[in-house]
Structure 1
Amino acid sequence: MLRLQDEFRDLFRRPFGILFPDISDVIPLLSGRVVYAVGDVVTDSLLSRGIFPDIAVIDGYTMRSPFLRTPLYAGASHIRVNNPAGMITPDLIAGIERALADPPALVFVDGEEDLAVIPLVIAAPDGVFVLYGQPGEGVVLREIDSAAREEAQVLLSYFTTENASIK
């Protein structure tokens, strides 16, 4: 599994794409696009507007507090994975791969989904729009291309590999 080193956490507070102050600013751009969402608020906001992401990754929390409107995504396969805070586990990566192989899918993370955007961007096909919340700032939109995948690989370089088991 991969653990984000504490001294690099600030790098992950910068948007990994285009920051929009409100999701309503992004909605017009989504027509006809394949959309992946990371985060409960983003996923709920899309579903409430009738936009069904091909993949949604949630954990039941927003800003460390329970999200009381955990999105119920009918018609999507449900995949449950373990991923502690500050980590990217093989279980998370495998869940994302399963979701990519058979969309629509809701990946529910026991733990924290914040860093799921990195393996999702690496694995996603070109042209997909990935959306995730930027706490206190808005929503980030990243179109997937080789530059996005390269940037995600650079972000992975700030992690260290650990061989601990997840329970």
Structure 2
Amino acid sequence: MLRLPPGQRSFFKAPFGVLFFSLDEGIPTLAGKRVYSVGDVVTARLIDRNIMPDVAIIDGHSMRTPCNRSPAVFPRCIRVKNPPGTITDELIEALDLALADPPTLIYVDGEEDLAVIPLVIAADEGGVVLYGQPGEGVVFREVDGTAKEKAKEMLALFDRIDES
């Protein structure tokens, strides 16, 4: 398991992509691309607009408040444990499975916020990862070589700990 040390958390506050005030502003940029979503609200809003994410990662919460917008439209759901402030090996394995057989929902028992990082690393170039930036809007991150390198740099800030 990878754990983000408290002293490194400030590096993850800035948007990791282009910040749009609303989802609708960025939708035109999604045409013809694979779409990946992280977060209950972003995922629900995409589905409300008839955009089916290839992979969606949710945890049943929005800003720590229970969120009952779990989409039932996915033909496949993988459940994983991922405590806050971590990226578990189980989550990374689920991402690989989901990316190999879209559309897939990954339902996280814990917190999904940091899943953006391994998702950008594992996803095919040319796709777009969307996630909510609390109080600001929606971040759209095109998956390209630059994004993958930045995600690897971010991952290097984590500590590897024993999951037992």
Tell me if both proteins adopt one fold, taking TM over 0.5 as the criterion.
Answer: yes
**2:34 corresponds to:** 34
Q: How many residues align?
A: 164
**1:162 corresponds to:** 161
Structure 1 stretch displaced more, 24-33 or 140-149: 24-33
Contact 1:73 1:106 in 2 (8 A): no
Shift of 1:36: 0.4
Distance, in Å, in 2 between the alignment partners of 1:104 and 1:93 is 17
Which residues in structure 2 correspond to 1:58-73 (within 5 Å)?
58-73=58-73
Unaligned 5+ segments in structure 1 are none
Shift of 1:68: 2.1
SS at match of 1:26: helix
Shift of 1:70: 2.0
Shift of 1:32: 1.6
Distance, in Å, in 2 between the alignment partners of 1:47 and 1:61 is 17
Contact 1:130 1:142 in 2 (8 A): yes
Unaligned 5+ segments in structure 2 are none
Shift of 1:67: 0.7
Which residues in structure 2 correspond to 1:34-53 (within 5 Å)?
34-53=34-53
Structure 1 stretch displaced more, 28-37 or 131-140: 28-37
Contact 1:18 1:142 in 2 (8 A): yes
2:152 corresponds to which letter in structure 1? Q
Distance, in Å, in 1 between the alignment partners of 2:33 and 2:99 is 15
**2:78 corresponds to:** 79
**1:17 corresponds to:** 17
**1:88 corresponds to:** 87
SS at match of 2:19: strand
Contact 1:40 1:67 in 2 (8 A): yes
SS at match of 2:93: helix
**TM-score normalised by the chain length of structure 2:** 0.97
**1:152 corresponds to:** 151
**1:57 corresponds to:** 57
Distance, in Å, in 1 between the alignment partners of 2:3 and 2:46 is 30
**TM-score normalised by the chain length of structure 1:** 0.96
